[in-house]
Amino acid sequence: MEIATGAMGSLLSKLGELLKEEYNLQKSVKKDIKFLSRELTMMQAALCRVGEVPLDQLDDLVKIWAHEVRELSYDMEDVVDTFLVRVEQNPEQAEPGSSKGFTRKMVNLYKKGRSRRQIADEIKDIKDRVKEVAERRDRCRVDSVFASYATTIVDPRLSALFKKVTELVGINEARDELIKRLSKGSNASKKLKIVSIVGAGGLGKTTLAKTVYDKLVLGKEFDSYGFVPVGQNPDMKKIFKDILLELDKHKYMDIGSVILDERQLINELLQFLDKKRYLIVIDDIWGTSTWDLIKNALPDSNCGSKIITTTRIAKVAEEVGDIYNLQPLSDDNSEKLFYTRIFGADGKCSDNQSIEVSKNILKKCGGVSLSIITIASLLASKPKDDWSKVYDSIGFGQEDNMDVRNTRKILSFSYYDLPIHLRTCLLYLTIFPEDYLIKKDQLIWRWIAEGFIQEENGLGSFEQGERYLNELINRSMIQPIERYHSGIIDDCRIHDMVLDLIRSLSSEENFSTVLDKEQHILSQSNIRRLAIHKRILEHNPQAKVGMTQVRSFNAYMCGRMDWMPPLSSFNVVRVLVLDSCHFVESAHLERIGKLLHLRYLGLVNTAIAELPKEVGHLKFLQTLDIWGSGIEELPLTVGKLRQLIYLRTDSNTRVPAEVMGKLTSLQQLHLHSVNKSLDAIVELRKLEELRELGIWFDKMDHSARRVLVESVCNLRKIQVLGVWYKSGDEWTWLNGWEAWVPHPRLRQFFLNAVFLPRIPVWINSSRVAHLSYLHLGVDFIDVQDLKYSIQEDRGGCKENIESFLSIQWCMPPPPMKIEDMPIYTFGFDP
């Protein structure tokens, strides 16, 4: 809920934590904390109401008030976290009864007493600030801000209904395919046919639906027809009246003034449509509950009626019926539409500079027809010399042009329809560079590190994060990237136009600051999240910025940063990412042990050869990602990181056994070159919380491989397991899997260049009902092993393999022989 309420959600729970007796705070301090909790709870509710309203519709005073409250919540959480870190920090161990141990104990007690006095003073100061902000809430009339919002929205998509078909490119193929879908089935069947068009905002769903509607109406095959938009906040009585008016304008010309409730209107529609063949388009549905109500008014009279719906939300489309996924325009059609809108039929650029700018613009539009039409309409009134300026401002609405504002508003519709917690997670994607391939797992762990995800309904934080991500994908706000057509989503991207929108919103709300080729000077004094992209930053006196309030520092593909601040200046940083910054060396990590708030440390593709032993002081660290860093061995102090949940090592990193066995909170572990950590393999069995394990090994003897299998077989919560043997074309054996009893929620099982004697008996739907990806090499397959997999006439195929997204059986290379191999590969789509 960060964007609307700042750190309020996590702060309130931490204030409750401070009231526990173990922190031994003075009574007056506890009284102040209770006062703050009450006031901040009311402010959180007010901020949630403010967050429901688009920024451009908020009063300036309300914006200022909301900004002050969010900043106040950040500052207060920093105070509370600092206190908790200092008080809970364990003193260094010493022998009981020794003078050294007694001295350390006294020093620790003194530090804790000083921390309690500091927080008492700071809470008094914050209490005064809260009182001032509370008084301004009443003066700004914040509590009444929501009342007038719903009546002020004008749907900019209306213009799509009146576009000439001759202006559209590539629509005929989609139109014909959709009509074919509507006509699918035997001529004898006259049952109601429903198709739902689903896709991101701006792809042209409304235009396609209107084109199909117009063509079918011209055929005069229907008794009645209507095209009705629904929208984001539908008035259902008005929707039903609009349908009636569309179906018979003469009969229902006065329906708007007739007082009828929803039940009466539904009955009127059912009676009118009875025994009629009708065609109805229900455009822009945002919720399944809306469709559930509408479908009750549209009967199936077995007359061959057709219904078309459009939506941006996959879940809605699934509820409707047959899904038509509208795809972005191809590169050729994008170019054709672009030039047609600027120059007319068969028009095209002739000079190389304009062609290059055009290609960049089309790349940014990503095949979204509305974006292409919008930008092309803007360029049509500009000299070609100005096209580069327009490109630099695509998506920001800086031009005085209605189409640009409409494109922005269309994207905003999808954004403001998101629950507040999903908006926060979406805005976090502003820290990534344009066209960056975002790793799904790393994104979710960062959300967790930032405090955006709370465990609920018995789900862990990562599973909850997966739900958030899937919801953003279903709403077409994030583009999923599938792994090798397997149906498994490992990565994602964000569309350029969506990125432009959320960066603008993020900047206005001080959610994040991005320093790239378009911004060179840091001017803000209270930066909370800083991202630096693809820069060589030389020393610049104007680039001075305080890091004391930075919660997240992210640098991507930077060649050099002469002014990179020392780590000691990051007082409250929770996320530190230096990704593909080859200038980063071990020296840059000096004093990393001082970052006591750090939850996420990413050092992917850096030149760091050694991880400082002070990393063991980071008691709250949850994620450590050192892939591609060159770190040869983890220091023993990593074993102190008892809250570490995610660890990914480099291909040459050795993990000492003393470290492995102590990381009992790990949920995800990726080990490369396990042969360098053979003594740690035995310790794997202690990591009973592991949900995902990836292991790469080579040149292991038989006993080591046996120990590996035995250790993995002790892990009862594994949902994703991958084992890779890295020896080129050579294959090896891993026996012993028959003894493994996998977790019922095992989702992926991958053995690469590894062979089993035969298929394990537990690979069947009764044992692993959630298994969706299976990659195995098997020496011998008996018909009995596959009786539920290949004998479709026995019903087994439908029962057991239908749920698989991907399954592959691999034949071993020569000279191995197979006595009985009834199949080679299977491939199943979801």
DSSP letters, 552-578, are EEEEES-SEETTPPPGGG-SS--EEEE
399 and 481, same domain (yes or no):
no
End-to-end CA distance of the chain: 33
Q: To which H or E segment does residue 437 belong?
A: none
305 and 170, same domain (yes or no):
yes
Q: In 10 A of CB 26, how many CB atoms?
A: 11
In a domain, 513, yes or no: no
732 and 772, same domain (yes or no):
yes
Q: Could you tell me the residue range of the domain that residue 373 belongs to? A: 331-411
Residue 407 and residue 369 in contact, taking contact as beta carbons nearer than 8 Å: no
In a domain, 80, yes or no: yes
- Number of compact structural domains in the chain: 6
**How many distinct helices (H) and strands (E) make up the chain?**
24, 24
223 and 105, same domain (yes or no):
no
In a domain, 819, yes or no: yes
Question: Which residues fall within 8 angstroms of residue 317, CB to CB, at 6 or more apart?
Answer: 196, 197, 198, 309, 311, 323
CA distances from 383 to 361, 365, 386, 402, 718 (A): 16, 20, 6, 19, 61
Retrieve residue 381's tokens: 């009134």
Phi and psi at residue 817, to the nearest 5°? -120, 150
Q: What is the DSSP letter of 633?
A: B
112 and 29, same domain (yes or no):
yes
Q: What's the pLDDT at 116? A: 61
In a domain, 151, yes or no: no
601 and 724, same domain (yes or no):
no
Tell me the torsion sign for CA atoms 313, 315, 320, 326. Answer: positive
Domain end point (choices 325, 344, 366): 325
In one letter, which amino acid is 708?
A: L
707 and 784, same domain (yes or no):
yes
Residue 362 and residue 338 in contact, taking contact as beta carbons nearer than 8 Å: yes
Place of tokens 């191995």: 816
Residue 194 and residue 322 in contact, taking contact as beta carbons nearer than 8 Å: yes
Q: Give strand ranges (E) for 57-177.
A: none
Please classify residue 219 by burial: count the beta carbons closer than 10 Å to its beta carbon, then call 0-12 exposed, 13-18 middle and 19+ buried.
exposed
398 and 489, same domain (yes or no):
no
Q: Give strand ranges (E) for 652-699.
A: 668-671, 692-697
Residue 449 and residue 600 in contact, taking contact as beta carbons nearer than 8 Å: yes
Q: What is the DSSP letter of 619?
A: T
79 and 34, same domain (yes or no):
yes
58 and 192, same domain (yes or no):
no
CA 731 to chain centre: 37
In a domain, 526, yes or no: no
- pTM surpassing 0.85? no
Q: Which CATH number characterizes residue 492's domain? A: 1.10.10.10
Q: How far apart are CA 723 and CA 650, in angstroms?
A: 16
pLDDT single digits (tens) 207-218? 899 999 988 988
Low pLDDT (below 50) residues in the chain: 1-4, 90-111, 146-154, 166, 396-399, 403, 541-542, 788-806, 809, 811-830
Domain end point (choices 94, 114, 144): 144
Least Cα distance to 354 among 332, 386, 390, 384 occurs for: 384
Longest Cα separation, the chain: 99
In a domain, 427, yes or no: yes
736 and 809, same domain (yes or no):
yes
The three-point CA angle 516-519-523 to 5° equals 125
Domain end point (choices 298, 325, 352): 325
Phi and psi at residue 390, to the nearest 5°? -65, -40
Residue 298 and residue 280 in contact, taking contact as beta carbons nearer than 8 Å: yes
Phi and psi at residue 458, to the nearest 5°? 80, 0
Q: Which CATH number characterizes residue 585's domain? A: 3.80.10.10
Residue 228 and residue 246 in contact, taking contact as beta carbons nearer than 8 Å: yes
298 and 381, same domain (yes or no):
no
SS3 category, 686: helix
In a domain, 58, yes or no: yes
Pairing relationship of beta strands 806-810 and 748-756 according to DSSP bridges: unpaired
Retrieve residue 478's tokens: 């994030």
Q: To which H or E segment does residue 490 belong?
A: strand 489-493
In a domain, 485, yes or no: yes
Alpha helices in 451-532 (DSSP H): 461-474, 496-508
Retrieve residue 292's tokens: 């559930």
Residue 828 and residue 805 in contact, taking contact as beta carbons nearer than 8 Å: yes
Q: How far apart are CA 484 and CA 620, in angstroms?
A: 36
Residue 630 and residue 649 in contact, taking contact as beta carbons nearer than 8 Å: no
